[in-house]
Structure 1
Amino acid sequence: MTTKIYSEVWDLDVFFKGGSSSPELKEHLESLKRKLDLFELTLSKFDVPKNKSDASKIVSIIEETKQVAENLSQAGAVIGCFLAQDTTDKQANILQGEIGSHSARLSSSMLVLQQKLSKTTDEIWISLMEDEELKEFTFVLNEWRNEAKELLSEKEEDMITVLSVDGYHGWGQLYDLLVGDIKIRITVDGEEKEFSYGQASNLSSHSDATVRRDSFEALEQAWTEKEDFFAKTLNHMAGFRLATYKKRGWDSVLKEPLHMNRMKQETLDAMWGAISAHKAPFVEYLKRKAELVGADAMHWYDLDAPVTQSTQKVSFQQGAEFILDHFGKFGPELEKFSRKAFEDEWIESEDRPNKRPGGFCTGMPMSKQSRIFMTYSGTMSNVATLAHELGHAFHSHALRPVHWMNRQYAMGVAETASTFAEMIVADAAVKEAKTADEKLSLLEDKIQRSVAFFMNIHARFLFETRFYDERKKGLVSASRLNKLMEEAQREAFGDGLGDVHPHFWASKLHFYISRVPFYNFPYTFGYLFSLSIYAKAIEEGSNFEEKYIALLQDTAIMSVEDLAMKHLGEDISQHAFWEKGIALCIKDVEEFLVLTSSKG
């Protein structure tokens, strides 16, 4: 049997032929505009529900909302893919602005709907939620109604939404352009080459210490040269957000991200508290790794350094087959779905210039497909990233039988599915290692993820929390942002670092995503939450996949606390839950320290 060769370039023509200049895309956007016009007209005639018989009107509105939202998501996702694959695509950049305007219109319309639902009397609302047609939407409808009560008047909120297109979101789009313009030149393998930021980021795991340091320093210089641009961008995004919160009477900058993640403050505090209490083993790991790479301390540019000389290169084809093999051992549905993603060219992984940095998975709801973006350079870390994004795609796949209304899951649980998939591959890689050096390298790759979630993400959270505190008092200078980032990194890494990365605030896209505040702690939540799910999967074997899919299908219709209690029987607002997952990660560190006791 001949193995199919998987493409490293995704197929976007299946949606709209001709790229960002596609006539089909143009027609889709014109049709979307007409749908928005009709939706706004429908809402203008929709009255505040006055009796139980109005349930059918709410169902009709839900269906019309679904049609508009899915059309908008489809276009926005594809345009986002055009920009990601080529940051110089000027037409895609123009279309992104158009999508932003359409998104603002839908947001305004949704606000109108929420405000009208919020004016329903409690007695009528209770009777409506008991209606057979609406029962499946109870959680989200209650959420919509309660959200409206936290907002300003319809007119004021509409003003904020409209102004955010060229203000708030415009600043976020400016960041993408600034980063796309970043280029560095350094010598690699005896030849001077030019690298985009995305390509240069992959050099952090290069086997040559000089290349790692040179690329880091060249990028640091690039951030320094444009630090005032990035500082202005970040300040104005935060300023817009804070001004909005102040008008609404919200005191805490965490109110919105916690609500968006359907999470209690107690749960977040318990998670960070447990992590902070157990950082010592990871600091010990950093010190040992510094010895292994021949450094006087663990510098930022050596965090991803290989710890053995025999680190293997894995082709995209090999990586794909490895993922499919081990997904198949977990469950047939995950393997079948992921094979389709490879065979139908859903993945953009080619290493080439002008791609945006990082990786993502985006969904095309009308086509019932996803697309995965990354830059693959042949490391096992890349394989893990690919598995991670396939986990996101599988989450969307698992939710296909569920109504659109009940598919809008929060980021924390989104990262659960992705991290779970990543864990399957990372564990398998360690167990199947053919040599001691290979095992050490793969084990260390696993530990790097723990360091990222327990230390790097914690540093981002600390930085962002403190930055917002200072931004309330006025603009924060680039030099002060550097200082805040350095302090956060030293605290989060337990003083386990030598040279830090003061311009990390400028280099990290997550700080500039306007639609999702505090795009950090949900990653750590997802990582530790998925460890509990993974432990159950190991215990129950292939029989667990059906239960796993059931859990994923509940991710958008309950709080994370209720989700954990229903499917895991755990109280996640207590330290004990988080400590169990952290203990599994510490075991990896302990094994690493034993394996490297005679090295260094």
Structure 2
Amino acid sequence: MFDSIPSDPEILKTWSWSDFQPYYQDLIGRRLTSDGVAEFLTDWTRINEVIDETYSRLHVLMTVDTSDKAAEELFHAFLENVFPPSEEAEQELKKKLLELGTVPSDFAVPMKKMKAEAELFREDNLKLQVHEHKLTTEYDKIVGAQTVQWEGKEVTVVQLRPVFQSQDRKLREKAWRTSLERQLQDRSAISELWKEFMKVRLELASNADCRDYRSYRWKQMLRFDYTPEDSLQFDKAIEEAVVPVAARIVDRRRKLLELSSVRPWDMDVDPLGRSPLRPFQVISELRDKTASVFRSMDPVLGGYFEIMEREGLLDLENRKNKAPGGYCTEFAASKRPFIFMNAVGIHEDIQTLLHESGHAFHAFERSGLPFHQQRSVGMEFSEVASMGMELLASPYLRKDRGGFYSESESARALSKHLEDSILFWPYMAMVDSFQHWVYENPNVSVDAANCDKEWAALTKRFMPWLDWSGLEQEAMTGWHRKLHIHVVPFYYVEYGFAQLGAVQVWRNAMKDETAAIKAYRAALALGGTASLPMLFETAGARFAFDTEMLNSAVSLMEEVLGTLRDRQE
């Protein structure tokens, strides 16, 4: 029966629940025994993959063109008509397996996750989850439509980013102010949307009998290896160990630029007066040279990227009405990842593509696991796959190793990456601390004006080096422009944990690159069959987030930065 499920996504995207339902009914109605568990899980995996891929493909259609009404209608039809009953059916199957208690090997961690999901499930929340999905679509539409007039042309706000690197300070200030002026025009719309997000999320938590949304979300995100208190402690450790180092980096920038203070438009320009790195002119160049980087680095990883090139699984360039940001999603039934991003010709585009490729490689590596539950990985380690790839690939960005740059440009690019990574930790802690505050104080934070005040206070705490004088409105609304806060709440601390893991993987590669890549791939191949500490250990790292661990990582990064600066100055 399950062999009859079509594989053509063009057919599946128009399927209604009545098309999917018979397969779930078959599974729900089966008499399940220990001997039949493997077959049961195999068939369950098949229908789950098809549902998951249909959702992913419809979401992709929505984000590649937020003005596509037909795509929006298909996506909303899926959310309204297929998502709720499929989730109910999934809940029945989880209960069925949990009641049996017999599972195959390498299934202990997936079983633990399944138990948590089953405990959290409430039928009343299905419509709320659909509504939340629609709100995220509205946020994407608002941001995706943000364009400005620049030099006689209509360009997206993202397309102004290269101007921020100009040595002409007045020009980059003008570009920055033009961008922020346009973004502030949507302040009221985003604030109103925020009220809806908060209302839905508080109701989700209440329905699930959770004391607050944070505890609901913690369980929903299957966080078993650390607590909210651990997350806040990590933020505090960043304040102690990283903020002083980041402040030194920015002060060095201030001195090199001969400024009295560093303004927001001074953070992207090269402080030594060099022209911005322009690694590629057209998207095909970004794609081809990145493929060459991966081939030089590891033939298996290079092969994965070539599959994505060949099969049209890369949507890289920025354009009007394209959703913001970048992501890698997975077409589960096809066993293929898909990368979405907004490239505009700057070095950060390379970093984004390396990052998302790390996620793609993770999808390829774990695709051999037989059951879909085994392939679900916590983002704390998924982001090690992506952030680790940014660092592992850094030696191959030189032209003589297949990449984009001369030796001095490559040193400059790595310097920028390490500085940005150090500066990222305080920003991550700011975003994370903000979200804890939001959901600890929901009666206050439902008012966007109170969120503005809290964001402003956190900015002073974690990023005191920026001079926002006269830009108070721009500063306090920074949370409006952080997609994760609106679309995927509490999904951000993972980046901080993962960067700590990635630096450890990179440290190993500097000693023995072949062994480090082998360990990296071995950890990716485990999928979700191991705990976070075990995944980190397999990759050659330690899952820890205290001041001592941060000091060790930052010291290494500062040491390498010193060597790289000597090669450039």
Fold match by TM threshold 0.5: yes
Give me the TM-score of the superposition, normalised by structure 1.
0.82
Measured in 2, the distance between the counterparts of 1:473 and 1:483 equals 11
Given that 2:167 and 2:270 are in contact with CA atoms closer than 8 Å, whether structure 1 keeps it comes out as yes
Q: Which residue of 2 aligns with 1:5?
A: none
Residues 72-95 of structure 1 show CA distances to partners (whole Å, capped at 9, x for unaligned) of 222222222323222211111111
Matched, 1:135 2:95: no
Instruction: Name the SS for the 2:79 alignment partner.
Output: helix
1:114-513 to structure 2, matched below 5 A, reads 114-117=94-97, 120=99, 125=101, 128-129=102-103, 134-149=104-119, 151=120, 157-165=122-130, 167-186=131-150, 191-251=151-211, 253-259=213-219, 260=221, 261-265=223-227, 268-269=231-232, 271-278=234-241, 279-307=243-271, 308-315=273-280, 316-320=283-287, 322-403=289-370, 404-429=372-397, 434=406, 439-440=411-412, 442-452=414-424, 454-473=425-444, 475-477=446-448, 479-493=449-463, 495-499=464-468, 501-513=475-487
**Equivalent pair of 2:128/2:204 in contact (CA under 8 Å):** no
Structure-2 separation of matches of 1:498 and 1:456: 15
3-state DSSP of counterpart to 1:136: coil
RMSD between aligned residues: 3.1
Which residue identity is paired with 1:212?
R
Q: Could you say if the C-alpha distance between residues 592 and 210 of structure 1 is closer, same or farther in structure 2, counting changes exceeding 3 Å?
A: farther
Provide the aligned length of Structure 1 versus Structure 2.
545
- For residues 33 and 215 of structure 1, the distance between their equivalents in structure 2, rounded to whole angstroms, comes to 48
- Residue identity opposite 2:148 in structure 1: I
From 509, 513, 517, the equivalent of 1:537 is: 509
Deviation at residue 431 of structure 1 after TM alignment: 11
Compared with structure 1, are the counterparts of its residues 223 and 325 closer, same or farther at alpha carbon in structure 2 (3 Å cutoff)?
A: closer
Contact 1:408–1:556 under 8 Å retained in 2: yes
Contact 2:162–2:345 (CA<8 Å) still a contact in 1?
no
Output the CA distance in 1 between the equivalents of 2:541 and 2:409: 39
Q: Percent identical across equivalent pairs?
A: 18
Shift in Å at residue 437 of structure 1?
7.2
User: Cα offset for 1:35?
Assistant: 4.5
Q: What amino acid does structure 1 have at the position aligned with 2:480?
A: A
d(CA) in 1 for partners of 2:244 and 2:251?
11
Q: Aligned in 2, Cα 1:78/1:511: closer, same or farther, shift over 3 Å?
A: same
SS at match of 1:501: helix
Residue 100 (structure 1) aligned to one of 54, 79, 83 = 79
Contact 2:384 2:501 in 1 (8 A): yes
1:362 Cα shift?
1.7
Contact 1:223 / 1:503 at 8 angstroms: preserved in 2?
Answer: no
Who is 1:45 aligned against? 29
Q: What are the superposed Cα offsets for residues 288-343 of structure 1, whole Å, 9 maximum, x if unpaired?
A: 22333454322223322233323332124554455344434542211222233334
- Identify which of 488, 491, 495 aligns with 1:519: 491
Report deviation, 1:112: 2.8
Query: Using the alignment, how far apart are the partners of 2:329 and 2:423 within structure 1?
Result: 26
Letter in 2 for 1:216: W
AA in 1 matched with 2:25: L
Q: What CA distance in whole angstroms lies between the structure 2 residues aligned with 1:196 and 1:377?
A: 10
Distance 1:175 1:141, change over 3 A: same
- Partners of 1:374 and 1:107 lie apart in 2 by 29
Distance 1:255 1:263, change over 3 A: farther
Amino acid at match of 2:324: P
Q: Which residue identity is paired with 2:466? A: L
* 1:81–1:274 CA distance, 2 compared to 1 (3 A): same
> TM-score, normalized by length of structure 2?
0.86
Q: CA deviation at 1:38?
A: 1.6
From 35, 58, 65, give the equivalent of 1:79.
Answer: 58
Is 2:237–2:546's contact at 8 Å kept on the other side of the alignment? no
Displacement, 1:395?
Answer: 0.7
Corresponding residue for 2:4? none
Q: Conserved in 2, the CA contact under 8 Å of 1:285 and 1:593?
A: no
Q: Distance in 1 between matches of 2:129 and 2:262?
A: 42
Equivalence map 1:564-583=2 (5 Å)? 564-568=536-540, 570=542, 572=544, 574-583=546-555
Code of the aligned partner of 2:12: H
